[in-house]
């Protein structure tokens, strides 16, 4: 049986609150059809790092609070495609542990 996250049919990935990372889970996660990634990692205090290199955000419009209130220290979003983004408010709100952030591909 295929893993559910390899072919996401839902377009709303809201309030997932992912607390721990599973490298296989996130590396195979297909966000390509997701319009909403709001609150995806919000309040994930135990999360200190996350690899989102495989995330396809070309269809994503809403990134609100995606990384708010997390324990993430280093975040590389250089592959994020934000050309269709309409709202990114509070995307990093209260991310007090964040010391390194790469946003070089943000449009």
- 19 pLDDT band, cuts 50/70/90, is low
Distance set, CA 51 to CA 7, 34, 72, 78, 87 (Å): 19, 18, 11, 11, 22
- 5 pLDDT band, cuts 50/70/90, is very low
| pLDDT of 15 above 80 | no
Residue 63's pLDDT is what? 93
- 6 pLDDT band, cuts 50/70/90, is very low
């Amino acid at each position: 049986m295929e893993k559910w996250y390899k072919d996401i049919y839902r377009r709303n990935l809201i309030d997932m609150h992912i607390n721990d990372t599973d490298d296989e889970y996130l590396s195979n996660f297909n966000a390509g059809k997701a319009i909403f990634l709001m609150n995806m990692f919000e309040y994930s205090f135990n999360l200190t790092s996350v690899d989102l290199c495989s995330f396809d955000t070309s269809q994503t419009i809403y990134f609100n609070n995606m990384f708010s209130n997390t324990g993430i220290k280093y975040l590389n979003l250089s592959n994020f495609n934000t050309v269709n983004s309409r709202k990114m408010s509070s995307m990093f709100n209260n991310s007090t542990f964040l010391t390194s952030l790469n946003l070089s591909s943000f449009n």
